[in-house]
Amino acid sequence: MLTTLNCLSLLGAASFATALFVADPPASSFAGATTSAVYPPLGASYAAEASYFPPASVVGFPGPTPTGDEPEAIATAPAISQMESVYPLTDPLPAGAETPGFEVIKYWGNLSPWYSVPAGAQGLPNASPQIPSGCSINQVHLLHRHGARYPTSGSGPATFATKLHNASVSYGFNASGPLAFLATWEYKLGAEILTPFGREQMYDLGVGFRVKYGQLLKGFTQLPVFRTTSEDRMLNSALNFAAGFFGAQTFQQDYYQSIIIESSGYNNTLAPYNACPVDNGPVGSIATTYENAWIATYLTPAWTRLAPYVPGLDLTVSDIYSMQQLCAYETVALGFSDFCGLFTQEEWEGYEYSNDISFWYNNGPGNPTSAAMGLGWVSEVVARLTQTRTTEPFAETNVTLNSNPVTFPLNQPIYVDATHDTIISAILTTMNMTSFVRTGPLPTDHIPYDRSYIVSQISPFGSNLVGQVLSCPASNISTHIRWILNDAVLPLTGIQGCPDDPNGLCELSTFISAYKQRIAEVDYDYDCYANYTVPVPDTIVTGQYPAALRNGTK
């Protein structure tokens, strides 16, 4: 959690501003107050008059209903359809000048809506998600993040709103200039659950996946099993995806939804942090110091510029950071935010980098629990590829579910798992996708040129990691595999034996053998249960505690 950052050396400027703007009208008594709406209306009951509105199955008269063939645009289209739309959100503009092509909404780190990442982002500029010429697809594995949501309970945006409201009812404050809207601003965000735009993201992801991979449904001999966790936003993401993939009227009868409990005491590869005690302690939040150092560096100028416009309010750099978060959260929840235009392009670039630092050191290559956190899901991928069932406890796998062929089938042409942003980041580390660590650990005093680790391209809202199991040349026998993250094909050169292939292809047998070895080399018990501290500076790039240090820390 972000700690409070004050810039004491600049308080003189704020004091001067207090006198300068003292004539401004005071803020309203409801400034910063939390508002919410409840739907359906209280007292309204669908059951009360449902008999007047019979379902389509009772009404009848559906008209012609012949179905067509399944689409396979991932193989038949000449190019990939790019995800570029954020409809119905208003694309915000930064304060001041901006570089042509700059889009604020792509600089919100894990709070950005997912978009098609440029083909060369990870070093394969000529690769396309479209099936390579001469190949055919036999199976697909989808791991996706939930859609856009409200802030985490008790996080910075809600804390800032409380501070603002307490000031308005206790001693008052004035707001003018670019912050004049704070005088009547109300906090309209809930917590944790999907926003309407988040539901749209998941529905659209489902539609898009059906258009790309629908032909694979012909390979099913029984209904598919898709997986998610029990958290509200996770379940609703899975249901909206399924509604888009199968169709709104029939989706609940077209597949089985496995809902894995997400809570302490339950193993769950889609929410593995509950099974890793070290990750729930200080080691799991080592990024705080690094992130705060960077925030103080890039946001102090914004604090200097904005603090004079709210005399009477003890504005801190942490508050300014919360305002940047509010821009993102309000936009994906309400469609627009007045906070967005407060910050320059450089400050939005700084905000994005703060998220990169947070994920690198907390959930990515720089945290010694990351490889362990993704170990369970990676082992499940190998189980599916080899059709070999795991029946013994391993990492975060749920043996009760995974040992049962009904709840964990091994012969599906399509697999769909819903998870969290931090878990996608960890899983990529477990998979040893080394292109993300090309430029090394992230410094806290500047943004590295051409850095390889950018969270808005890794774990945004709706992020999707796709594994394509292919036959090259085309046949019914699978020979190759490759992985695609948010439409960018990933090089597999970090995987032992996989070649530097322009299409990101690796022979399936080589991939399986390398991942069996990778699974064996990740010391889950040590990284999740041992008593150790992370070296300072943290130069870890493998997501594992350095083997050379283990003897001295047991």
| pLDDT computed for residue 19 by the predictor | 38
| pLDDT computed for residue 43 by the predictor | 83
157 membership: H or E segment, kind and range: helix 156-170
| pLDDT computed for residue 32 by the predictor | 80
| pLDDT computed for residue 494 by the predictor | 92
134 to each of 16, 130, 467, 472, how far by Cα in Å?
71, 12, 18, 6
What is the C-alpha to C-alpha distance for residues 447 and 348, in angstroms, rounded to an integer? 12
Contact 203, 195 (CB under 8 A): no
| pLDDT computed for residue 354 by the predictor | 98
What DSSP assignment string belongs to 498-538?
----TT--EEHHHHHHHHHHHHHHS-HHHHHHS-----SS-
| pLDDT computed for residue 44 by the predictor | 86
Domain residue limits, the chain: 111-151+193-283+357-549, 159-192+289-350
Contact 114, 462 (CB under 8 A): yes
What is the C-alpha to C-alpha distance for residues 408 and 160, in angstroms, rounded to an integer? 44
φ and ψ at residue 413, rounded to 5 degrees = -70, -25
- Where residue 321 falls (left for φ over 0; alpha for ψ -120 to 50; beta otherwise) is alpha
| pLDDT computed for residue 3 by the predictor | 46
Beta bridge partners of 139: 469
| pLDDT computed for residue 294 by the predictor | 98
Tokens, residue 524: 């889950």
Chosen CATH of 111-151+193-283+357-549 out of 3.20.20.70, 3.90.650.10, 3.30.750.24, 3.40.50.1240: 3.40.50.1240
| pLDDT tens digits in sequence order for the chain, 554 residues long | 344 444 433 333 443 344 344 456 788 888 888 999 988 888 888 888 889 999 899 999 999 989 999 999 999 999 999 999 999 999 899 999 999 999 999 999 999 999 999 999 999 999 999 999 999 999 999 999 999 999 999 999 999 999 999 999 998 899 999 999 999 999 999 999 999 999 999 999 999 999 999 999 999 999 999 999 999 999 999 999 999 999 999 999 999 999 999 999 999 999 999 999 999 999 999 999 999 999 999 999 999 999 999 998 999 999 999 999 999 999 999 999 999 999 999 999 999 999 999 999 999 999 999 999 999 999 999 999 999 998 888 999 999 999 999 999 999 999 999 999 999 999 999 999 999 999 999 999 999 999 999 999 999 999 999 999 999 999 999 999 999 999 999 999 999 999 999 999 999 999 999 999 999 999 999 999 999 999 999 999 999 999 888 876 54
The whole-model pTM stands at 0.94
| pLDDT computed for residue 25 by the predictor | 74
| pLDDT computed for residue 33 by the predictor | 85
What is the C-alpha to C-alpha distance for residues 184 and 408, in angstroms, rounded to an integer? 52
What is the C-alpha to C-alpha distance for residues 233 and 192, in angstroms, rounded to an integer? 7
| pLDDT computed for residue 112 by the predictor | 98
Residue with tokens 């309209």: 188
What is the C-alpha to C-alpha distance for residues 75 and 142, in angstroms, rounded to an integer? 17
